[in-house]
Structure 1
Amino acid sequence: MKKRDTIDGKLVMQFQSGNKQALTHLVKRWHKTFCEKANWLVKDTDVAKDIVQDSWQVIISKINQLKDPYSFSSWASRIVYTKSLDWLKASKRKQNHLENYKYEQEVDNLETKEKESIKAQLLKTIKTLPEHQQMVIKLFYVQDYSLKEISSVLNISVGTTKSRLFHAREKLKQILKYRNYEN
């Protein structure tokens, strides 16, 4: 048994017996070592300090349950190690979540750009139609007018409205099919 383990064991037994100063000595002896161990694992000094602080809370809350006081160094080091690994796992999950979010945003942006491109192409194509067909298409699809409302606005019969809408759709289909927008 190392001298260090003997000293730690005695301090643990003193603390378990009610000597609160013994804990202060343990903290002074181990805090820097625990910070170095955590920092070696997580590669961030501030995070390592937080991990060690959390580890001390666990150590203090469970030190009275430590059956072999002379194993303090390995027992407490294991707590620091486990807390460090927990932080790394949580950090990895957070990183994965952020990467997934970023990917989803990029996909959404691409879809939006693609939709805008198709919409622009469609509007350009609509402008190639005769004026009377453009008007019917715009009123029906853009402004959501019913066939009856369109016939009233344009002062034409419902049958003529249907006919213009049908012919406009057919011309759009042909143009878009030719440009490979429709299968």
Structure 2
Amino acid sequence: MTNRERVFQAYLVSAARLGDRKAMERLAEMCGPRLLAHAGRLLDDRQSAEDVVQSAWIDILHGLPRLADDRAFMPWALRIVSRRVVHVIRRRQRQRRLASQLRPEAPESATSQGPPAADAATIRALIDRLDAPHRATLALFYLEDLSVAEVAVALDIPAGTVKSRLTTARHKLRAFLKGETDEQDR
């Protein structure tokens, strides 16, 4: 995001806070795709991601009067989306536990995919192998181009945890790549 876009976004936030409906709509148009991409990366389900972002916008618009810094809007909004995602994931986990208690030995479906054709697809597949916290941290830092401090705000974790997750994720990706290379060389 360019500095000009950040300034315009801060203006929209300020106008939306004052009740300007057009500013709210423009803010949703401007930031909605990034929020949806973030939720989609965490949930791997477009429909659930859309639902999460839609409900998050209600919290975002109601919370605007309490936002102290208009320039911090995006990390703040990402944190709201992240919290909504956590609720969805927890609900899914409860449902899975309940389902597994009802049918304790349900076989897991095993689907195997061949090696990805492009390097980008390979990296994406390796990132998908990471757990959700590491995936989210990588995505916000590299794909959303947020700073460590902004990622910390978005995920509601300390900056040191962001750095630790980035380091761990990089090491895991290197190990995955080395493992992929070793397997292909055999």
TM-score interval, normalised by the smaller of the two chains = 0.5 to 0.7
Task: State TM-score, norm by structure 1.
Answer: 0.53
Runs of 4 or more above 4 Å deviation: none
Alpha-carbon distance between aligned partners in 2 of 1:42 and 1:56, rounded to the nearest angstrom? 17
Q: CA deviation at 1:35?
A: 1.1
Partner amino acid, structure 1, of 2:50? K
The equivalent of 1:36 in structure 2 is: 37
Alpha-carbon distance between aligned partners in 2 of 1:65 and 1:41, rounded to the nearest angstrom? 26
Equivalent positions of 1:51-130 (< 5 A) are 51-103=52-104
Alpha-carbon distance between aligned partners in 2 of 1:73 and 1:32, rounded to the nearest angstrom? 12
The equivalent of 1:27 in structure 2 is: 28
C-alpha contact 1:51 1:80 (8 A) present in aligned 2: yes
Unaligned 5+ runs, structure 1: 105-183
RMSD over aligned Cα, in angstroms? Answer: 1.7
The equivalent of 1:163 in structure 2 is: none
Task: State TM-score, norm by structure 2.
Answer: 0.53
**1:103 aligned counterpart, secondary structure:** coil
- Percent of aligned positions with the same letter in both sequences? 23
The equivalent of 2:4 in structure 1 is: 3
Q: Within the alignment, does 1:16 sit opposite 2:17 as a pair?
A: yes
Alpha-carbon distance between aligned partners in 1 of 2:99 and 2:71, rounded to the nearest angstrom? 44
More helix by share: 1
The equivalent of 1:46 in structure 2 is: 47
Q: Deviations over 1:51-74 (max 9, x none)?
A: 001111111111111111111011
C-alpha contact 1:5 1:71 (8 A) present in aligned 2: no
